[in-house]
Amino acid sequence: MYLVTAQEMQNMDRETIEGFGLPGRVLMENAGRGSVDMLVRRFPYLKSKRVCVLAGRGNNGGDGFVVARYLIQMGVKTDLFLLSQRSTVTGDALANLELVETLVEKHPDTTLTEVPDLESFDRVKPRMVHADLIVDAILGTGLNADVRGFFKTVIQTVNQLACPTFSIDIPSGLNADTGRPWGVAINACATATFAFAKPGHFLLPGKELTGELEIVEIGIPPFIREKYDPKITLVEPQDVAALFPPRRLQTHKGSFGHLAVVAGSTGKTGAAALTANAAMAMGTGLVTLGIPASLNPTMEPQVTETMTFPLAETAPGHLSDDAMDELKQLAKEKTAMALGPGIGTAPATQALVRKIITGIDLPLVIDADGLNAIAGDPGILKTTQTPMVITPHPGEMARLCTTTTQEIQANRLETAQRFAGEFNVIVVLKGAGTIIALPNGRAYISTTGNPGMASAGMGDVLTGMIAGLAAQGFSLEEAAVAGVYIHGRCGDRLARERGGFGFVASEMIQAIPFVIHGDLS
């Protein structure tokens, strides 16, 4: 599913009206009618209830006027509050307001009230309190500054009401691109959006504020979508399932790649084991784990199906930068490498990581301490042509960008896209609503996963899953998208079976085949 930014949607609307010749009033009519269709399905009891429509003066308000008109014609008791002076309403919105005015005169159970300021809003609040449903058509996707004053008070009041709220296009006050409120935003139980969903509908906290989402077709021709070529995609199960065709009968373990994993240190052998075992569960033919030599006896029982390759140490349990020659031997005849889980932050180990990045010519997936090793100088990523995926959590991303975790979380999508483009890597920015950003500006959003996955080792499993697919010959883009999506689906499966939390990373590995062969269909 394509997701479009506020600017892309504005461009496509304008092209449809000015270039294709479909009047804006037709688009507004289609938007309002489609919203009412969803409204009736979502709230079938409407005819016996009272609905309050809150409409601004712009096109979002115009959509609200269309909704109000249909509700009145259906016999629904409707109170329409115009949150502006009537004289400020223009264009298509005004044309639809005039139609509502004509209907209100003929329907005694409906009202239209001009509410341009806080004083008048205080007078109508008692009527809102007694509404059974609020329709939010206050502010649309074009909002680009914090909500203040009058509108802030209106939104805060709506959020305090006991009745549900249905939003038109986007919850008022929500940034359509980032999913962050412009100060405050409506907390809707359902939203009807038009032509395309927006990133803000799926990026937290926007996903929670949007509620149930439905896309309403309004008449934008497919060729216009193709012309503007949206860059953001929501990952869906059919996209991932298509990457896993049935395997041919005449195959063997060599047919499905050989992954090298460089991971582990004293106290962190579990991270290395999780990464290697996850790669095996993804269907990788062979996995060899490169670990500090003194840890080899400890590791072998944890990775029964994985081969091990002891490497030189600078101190017991910590890799030395002198291990580079051995690593070149390890890399021979391998098809991909995973680097970093549990590897530690000893200076010699960090030096080794940097040597691997510039000296190993394999598709590379870097996580955890592998990222910490370059946090002070991410420019090293620009010095190599090695195809790479990095999988930071927000804290690691903050270190790479020399900023704060809060800054990263405030604009996850743009941050990941910018870093991917500047450093020519695929960025998997982990967290609720994981972002996969490509160097060419394209990005994916995955909505699989749940809070029960906030436990140790989950990222190590994801690294093994992505690297295992890369070793099998998947492109790094395919490996990242499929790995992230399946990882989240494994967590969702365990949450259903085990409860909201309490399952652990090793159980995720056991769920992988069931998700690939069952849940994706």
Residue 508 contacts residue 458 (beta carbons within 8 Å)? yes
pLDDT tens for 109-137 read 899 999 999 999 999 999 999 999 999 99
CA 126 from chain center: how many Å? 39
Spatial distance between the Cα atoms of 73 and 76, rounded to a whole number of angstroms: 7
Comparing CA positions, the residue from 195, 200, 190, 139 lying closest to residue 5 is 200
In this prediction, residue 27 carries a pLDDT of 98
User: If you count them, how many residues does the chain have?
Assistant: 521
Q: What is the pLDDT of residue 463?
A: 98
* Ordered DSSP codes for 207-259: HHHH-EEEEEP----HHHHHHH---EEE--HHHHHTT-PPPPSS--GGGG-EE
- Per-residue pLDDT band for 58 (boundaries 50, 70, 90) equals very high
pLDDT computed for residue 363 by the predictor: 97
What is the number of helices (H) and of strands (E) in the chain?
20, 20
| Tokens matching residue 487 | 């990882």
For the segment 312-321, the average pLDDT, to the nearest whole number, is 95
Q: What is the DSSP letter of 1?
A: -
pLDDT at residue 250, as a whole number:
85
Separation of alpha carbons 419 and 242, rounded Å: 29
pLDDT averaged over the chain? 96
* 172-197 tens-digit pLDDT: 999 999 999 999 999 999 999 999 99
Question: Residue 50 pLDDT > 90, yes or no?
Answer: yes
Closest CA to 341 of 364, 369, 300, 362: 369
Residue 247 CB neighbours (<10 A): 10
Q: What is the pLDDT of residues 438-454, one digit of tens each?
A: 999 999 999 999 999 99
Domains of the chain: 2-230 (3.40.50.10260), 257-487 (3.40.1190.20)
108 falls in which pLDDT band (50, 70, 90)?
confident
Is residue 245 exposed (0-12), middle (13-18) or buried (19+ Cβ within 10 Å)?
exposed
Question: Does the pLDDT of residue 222 top 90, yes or no?
Answer: yes
CB-count burial class (<10 Å; 0-12, 13-18, 19+) for 379: exposed
b/e burial code for range 307-346 (CB count within 10 A of at least 16 → b): ebbbbbbbeebbbbbebbebbeebbeebbbbbbbbbbbeb
Report helix, strand or coil for 438. Answer: coil
Helix, strand, coil % over all residues of the chain, rounded to 5: 50, 15, 35
Bridge pairing between strands 286-292 and 364-366: unpaired
Q: What mean pLDDT comes out for the span 73-84?
A: 96
Above 90 in pLDDT, residue 472?
A: yes
Per-residue pLDDT at 185 = 98
* Spatial CA neighbour of 320 closest among 343, 338, 303: 343
- Is residue 519 very low, low, confident or very high in pLDDT (cuts 50, 70, 90)? confident
The Cα-based distances of 42 to 130, 166, 174, 185, 196 in angstroms read: 20, 9, 22, 21, 20
| Percent of the chain whose pLDDT exceeds 70 | 100
Band the pLDDT of 353: cuts 50, 70, 90: very high
As a whole number, mean pLDDT of residues 215-224 equals: 96
Q: How far apart are CA 175 and CA 206, in angstroms?
A: 8
* Residue-level pLDDT at 284: 97
* Ranges 62-66, 103-107, 153-157, 417-421: which has the least confidence: 103-107
Portion of the chain with pLDDT greater than 90, in percent: 94
Q: What is the pTM of this model?
A: 0.94
Closest CA to 391 of 365, 410, 413: 365
Rounded CA-CA distance 171/176 in Å is 9
Per-residue pLDDT of 392-404, as tens digits, reads 999 999 999 999 9
The alpha carbon of residue 409 and the mean position of all alpha carbons in its chain are separated, in whole angstroms, by 12
CA distance 261 to 127: 64
Least confident range of 126-130, 208-212, 464-468: 126-130
Q: How far apart are CA 144 and CA 175, in angstroms?
A: 8
Q: What pLDDT shows up at residue 35? A: 98
